[in-house]
Amino acid sequence: MDPPPVADPGQTKDKGVGSKGEMDLPVADPGPVRDEGELLRCPFCNSEAVYKLAQFLLPGLAAVCVDGTTGDLFRSPSDVAVDLRKEMVDSITQRSETFIADVEAEQNADNEMSDDPYEIVSIFMDDFSRTKRNIIGHVSGWLLSDSRDDKIDDFVQEMEMTRFWPLERREAIAEVLLRNVDIKTKFHCPEKYENEERLADHKAQCSFRPVTCPNEGCRTKVSVRCMQDHDATCLFKILQCEQNCEKRLLRRDMDRHCVTVCPMRPMKCPFGCDDSFSEHDLEEHCSESLQQHLLKVLQVIHKNNFTADELKETALRLEKCRKTDSLSIRGHVHGHGRTSKLPQTSRGLASGLRDFRRVDVWDTMLDVKNGPDALSEDRGKLAKARDARSLTSIVKDLEAKKFQCSGVVSHVNLGG
């Protein structure tokens, strides 16, 4: 089977690689092709399959050029790239043209030939590569060495940068190869028609016709029959957040969003308790578990200075932060006109002070320092602490207020 006619692009000079001014390989004309019996063949192939096959050609050529010049003091891979490219394309194209006939002739053989076009073309390229290796290139140690792989990768990058063998030209060759080896017509349209009119009608609805992905930002061309599969993996598809927050974003940004900024991302309690919840529910969790969090922070602040029961009692008082009327000292301090009920004798004074220290000590001291409105403010600060560091800072601040107010309270009691 002859390859499709080609358009002559004229003389082109390769930059860097093979810079001898040789004519580059032509690009295939995608128009209809006259086949046997003057039938017109549908030109459409699976776009993704053609692209994938085209990706094999550049590293394949790089391997041939590197292996063929290993140990050569006078030639580098770029010196032989133009000639070896032409030889390689001619070789694998000829092999592909006889492939179906060869398979049919050996269909009763024990070793059944693969029908995977990528595997078939890889075999063609490996066979050609072996014929071009020099003595050093045939040494198994060289073929398995990291140095060889590095040189191949470097030469691939060089050819890509200089556009020595552009993708569109490789795709034209890949399309010919795909048609020749696609035995079961999985990747190209096999339809043929007698005239242009019937072919045009078919092309308008052919499942292999290429279309551009409709997702904004994606310029991939895909066969209609493969569009659903492409859409399921397209990085430019806009999706609802996988963790059900209100955000809609590109598929390519989904993982980063879910791990870093999504308010519904799962998280562990920052204070070390065993609860798990979404970031969105962190504030509610901190408010509901305030006493438990306070206890953990107090254990860190005071370490071994207090018993577990004393720490629990302190945490409870911090959490409540409520005003009580157990001691009429508040009336004295805030000037509410209440009569002090504190004992007037020195013994009673000492007893009253002890009672004062036992009953809502934190609340009373905060009231003395900041007034009645300070309680709700401090309670809010405690409830809004979202991590151990911020809560520790708030607790230390409250304890500092306690220390500063102790002298004021004692003075008020003694004065009363």
Buried/exposed code over 228-267 (b: 16+ C-beta within 10 A; e: otherwise): eebbeebebbeeebebebebebbbeebeebbeeebebbee
The two tokens of residue 348 are 């009673």
pLDDT at 164: 95
Per-residue pLDDT at 27 exceeds 60: no
Residues 183-222: tens digit of each pLDDT: 889 999 999 999 999 999 999 999 999 999 999 999 999 9
Average of pLDDT values for 103-118?
71
pLDDT band at 278, cuts 50/70/90? Answer: confident
Q: Which helix (H) or strand (E) holds 268?
A: strand 266-268
pLDDT band at 395, cuts 50/70/90? Answer: low
pLDDT at 388: 60
Q: Is the pTM of this model over 0.75?
A: no
Asked whether 416 and 342 are in contact (CB, 8 A), the reply is yes
Per-residue pLDDT at 273 exceeds 80: no
Average of pLDDT values for 337-357?
34
Q: Which of 322, 320, 409 is nearest to 368 (CA)?
A: 409
The two tokens of residue 74 are 């006078």
DSSP label at residue 110: S
The two tokens of residue 116 are 């995977």
Q: Which of 271, 239, 259, 234 is nearest to 382 (CA)?
A: 271
Q: How far is CA 319 from CA 287, 377, 378, in A?
A: 10, 12, 9
Per-residue pLDDT at 335 exceeds 70: no
More confident residue, 192 or 404: 192
Q: Which of 288, 252, 254, 289 is nearest to 273 (CA)?
A: 289
Mean pLDDT of the chain: 72
pLDDT band at 172, cuts 50/70/90? Answer: very high
pLDDT band at 141, cuts 50/70/90? Answer: low
pLDDT at 389: 64
CA distance 33 to 40: 5
Average of pLDDT values for 20-39?
52
pLDDT band at 345, cuts 50/70/90? Answer: very low
pLDDT at 144: 61
CA distance 238 to 294: 43
Per-residue pLDDT at 407 exceeds 70: no
Per-residue pLDDT at 416 exceeds 80: no
76-90, 122-136, 171-185: range with lowest mean pLDDT: 122-136
Per-residue pLDDT at 56 exceeds 70: yes
Residues 231-245: tens digit of each pLDDT: 999 999 999 999 989
Asked whether 176 and 94 are in contact (CB, 8 A), the reply is no
Per-residue pLDDT at 57 exceeds 80: yes
131-135, 238-242, 375-379: range with lowest mean pLDDT: 375-379
Q: Which of 9, 179, 195, 157 is nearest to 77 (CA)?
A: 157
Average of pLDDT values for 79-100?
94
pLDDT band at 288, cuts 50/70/90? Answer: confident
Average of pLDDT values for 131-159?
78
72-86, 205-219, 225-239, 300-314: range with lowest mean pLDDT: 300-314
